[in-house]
């Protein structure tokens, strides 16, 4: 019971502005920018990561999850956040940039382009 009273008292001490959010912004923990440093460093050295596929044509380790994360990073970098239709012709240039960046960093066959672009659409 005492614990509940202490919690209620601490909640009353917090100050809120008109929108109901806390004024104490410095206590908020925010997620940092994803930059995929290991991939960028390897690419700058001319190295490429090997990608392996299962018999069901799914990405597998090693480096499968790294490629999927990198694709998400590229989508955030090259596709506008206002995009509401992945099939839009306006995104053709962005999709081509995503594919070229994937090829710069990973050993990946041209036949996997459709899979990677579809995965990018899911990351949108």
Q: Tell me: the pLDDT tens digits for 11-33?
A: 444 444 555 555 555 666 665 66
- The answer for residues whose C-beta is within 8 angstroms of residue 113's C-beta and 6 or more apart is 99
The answer as to whether 110 is a domain residue is yes
79/122 Cα distance (integer angstroms)? 12
**Structural domain harbouring 83:** 34-123
Q: Is residue 96 part of a domain?
A: yes
Domain count, the chain: 1
| Residue 23 lies inside a defined structural domain of this protein | no
* Nearest CA-CA partner of 70 in 104, 39, 100, 46: 39
- Which tens digit of pLDDT belongs to each residue from 67-116? 999 999 999 999 988 888 999 988 999 999 999 999 999 999 999 999 99
- Phi, psi for residue 122 in degrees, rounded to 5: -75, -25
User: What 8-state DSSP symbol labels residue 90?
Assistant: G
pTM higher than 0.75: no
Residue 29 lies in a domain: no
């Amino acid at each position: 019971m005492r614990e509940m009273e202490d919690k209620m008292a601490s909640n009353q001490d917090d100050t809120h502005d008109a929108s109901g959010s806390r004024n104490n912004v410095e206590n908020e923990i925010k997620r940092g920018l994803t930059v995929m440093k290991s991939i960028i460093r390897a690419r700058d050295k001319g190295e490429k990561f090997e990608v392996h596929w299962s018999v069901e044509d799914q990405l597998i380790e090693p480096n499968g999850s790294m490629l999927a994360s990198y694709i998400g990073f590229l989508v955030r970098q090259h596709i506008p956040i206002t995009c509401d239709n992945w099939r839009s012709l306006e995104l053709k240039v962005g999709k081509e940039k995503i594919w070229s960046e994937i090829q710069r960093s990973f050993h990946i066959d041209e036949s996997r382009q459709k899979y990677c672009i579809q995965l990018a659409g899911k990351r949108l």
